[in-house]
Structure 1
Amino acid sequence: AIANTRAYILGDGDQVQPEGVAGELCVAGRGLARGYLNREDETAKRFVADPFVPGERMYRTGDLVRWTAEHGIEYIGRIDQQVKVRGYRIELSEIEVRLAQLSAVQDAAVAAVKDNAGNTALCAYVTPEDADTESLKSALKDTLPDYMIPAYWVTMDELPVTANGKVDRKALPQPDIEAQSAAYKAPATEMEELLAAIWQDVLGIPDIGISDNFFTLGGDSIKGIQMASRLNQHGLKLEMKDLFQHPTIEELVSYVERTEGKEADQGPVEGEAMLTPIQRWFFDRKFTNQHHWNQTVMLHA
């Protein structure tokens, strides 16, 4: 920040973010404007009380940044370019930067779209028009986790831009969801048939093929746990990390393990149950009305 101004990088609850962690850039000090002309709602939203200097205000820029000891404040993108996919918060600009670093890409943009199941998915827009999207997707997997790999791709001669030269996101075309959906590949083995049946039950979608992506079809971590529970009923075990790394049946089938003979005895258990340390502490205190004991916890949304 320049003289007589302050810069904060804040996360949820206006907490200062540690080094390397992204947050919103907020500025305060003598250089602050009074607000937006004739835009009271926007002024109230952006010009707020400074949580660190009583009686003063700060301005929420809407810019996503992080502090690094080497480069100072590093710009990442806009807060409004943050989307949630599969339960993960994703910065679209982070994927765009990775795409721009690939030699085959001249320009790139990433947007959130709705798939056939109504779920949020990522779509990448790249130039030139003859770009090999499968190669680009494979290259991204070297630096990004699976949930940040775009499910849909659109190649273009050039990206639409606004009058000031920025990507016109409203003018980006919708991807052809049907055409880019994986061609149906029927299960060929007993294990593939079982997995396909379980996926259809959990996801509520008929005719799931072995090349269909669990997450693109609307799956998430909760539905993944439901799938693993159903497998367990068949004497099979699946680690959640394997589902995230191999989200198609043809990739996942080799990671399913049989658990016959490993189940614990489910009959009645008899004998003395030792107190846990916290239980021993409780009884050692000899409270007057032990049955009135209660414990509370506060959760912040």
Structure 2
Amino acid sequence: TENTVVATSGMIDPEKGTLPIGTAIANTRFYIMGSLYDLSPPGVPGELVIAGKGLARGYWNLPEETDKRFVPDPFYPGERMYRTGDLVKWTEDGELIYLGRIDHQVNIRGFRIELSEIEAQLLTLDSVKEAVVTTVKDAGDQDALTSYVITKNDTDTENLKESLKRTLPEYMVPSWIIKLDQFPMTANGKVDLKALPAPDIEANQTVYEAPRDEVETLLCGIWEDVLGVSQVGIHDHFFFLGGDSIKGIQMASRLTQA
């Protein structure tokens, strides 16, 4: 382990609306830092960084990973601190609130999204037994959300999407939902994200209906070029096919030229 197995302690107060993970134990220092190693004030999320006597020497036979995660402590020259990858924030009374994993956050069309939040919403559905959400590259080489689920019955993935739309904004609804019998696992028992099957990128297109006149033919052709898909029909959804604000600007420019 990178650090002693206990780094925080604190009393649990049932009257509080949140459950803090406490404060640092003896001989341990906590920093909450932004991307430039700037310290975050109370209420502002940042990465939990741990320093003090409890740190390991590094990762066994992984010098590059060690250098990336065990970095010099700018406040204690000659000592190191460990970047946990955990997203936390200080409360006003100096306790820590755990928010999730930094590496479980993604940026989709300018929105910062916590993947575990989508997983949690999927797991509230009666038909979903297990769920994993990750990102893939869409037809335009942009990040898009994909979810993998193990269901309790033969429910249709479109029904799952419609259910998610009741509790999540549209930009958080996965572009693809793929049903699996089981998840591929790594040797240490975690879901192997790299071994998950790739989605059919063009599967988000609706039942194809061809353009009916010159204007619709022009529009569909521009969509195909900008979005990088082979066939666009008049009922297809720009964002479901990988569209975003940048592609919208490109499309507007192409329309102006036409």
TM-score, normalised to structure 1's length?
0.63
How far is 1:105 from its partner?
1.7
Question: Deviation digits for residues 266-285 of structure 1, max 9, x if unmatched?
Answer: xxxxxxxxxxxxxxxxxxxx
Matched, 1:2 2:25: yes
Q: 1:28 to 1:95 in 2, by over 3 A?
A: same
Report the structure number with the largest CA radius of gyration. Answer: 1
2:84 to 50, 61, 74: 61
Which whole-Å CA distance do the structure 1 matches of 2:133 and 2:206 have between them?
Answer: 21
Aligned equivalent of 1:147: 171
2:38 to 4, 8, 15: 15
CA contact (8 A) 1:7 1:25 kept: yes
Q: 1:20 to 1:165 in 2, by over 3 A?
A: farther
Q: CA RMSD in A?
A: 3.3
Aligned equivalent of 2:233: 209
Which whole-Å CA distance do the structure 2 matches of 1:88 and 1:130 have between them?
Answer: 32
Higher RCO (CA-CA < 8 Å; seq separation 6+): 2
Q: 1:16 to 1:98 in 2, by over 3 A?
A: farther
1:156 to 162, 180, 192: 180
Question: Deviation digits for residues 106-165 of structure 1, max 9, x if unmatched?
Answer: 210012223344433221111215233223222323443333221111112333334544
How far is 1:233 from its partner?
8.2
1:111-126 equivalence runs, <5 A = 111-126=134-149
2:208 to 172, 184, 188: 184
Q: 1:67 to 1:141 in 2, by over 3 A?
A: farther
Which whole-Å CA distance do the structure 1 matches of 2:234 and 2:92 have between them?
Answer: 47
Secondary structure (helix, strand or coil) at the match of 1:27 reads strand
Which whole-Å CA distance do the structure 2 matches of 1:45 and 1:127 have between them?
Answer: 35
How many pairs were matched up? Answer: 233
Aligned equivalent of 2:59: 36
Secondary structure (helix, strand or coil) at the match of 2:209 reads coil
- Where do 5+ consecutive residues of structure 2 fail to align? 1-23
Secondary structure (helix, strand or coil) at the match of 2:36 reads helix
Question: Deviation digits for residues 66-86 of structure 1, max 9, x if unmatched?
Answer: 44569832141352x444433
Q: Which moved more, 1:112-121 or 1:195-204?
A: 195-204
TM-score, normalised to structure 2's length?
0.72
Which whole-Å CA distance do the structure 2 matches of 1:118 and 1:233 have between them?
Answer: 24
How far is 1:225 from its partner?
2.5
Q: Which moved more, 1:6-15 or 1:197-206?
A: 197-206
**Equivalent residue letter for 1:131:** T
Secondary structure (helix, strand or coil) at the match of 1:13 reads coil
Secondary structure (helix, strand or coil) at the match of 2:98 reads strand
Which whole-Å CA distance do the structure 2 matches of 1:114 and 1:183 have between them?
Answer: 23
- Between the aligned residues of both structures, percent identity stands at 59
Matched, 1:91 2:114: yes
How far is 1:5 from its partner?
0.9
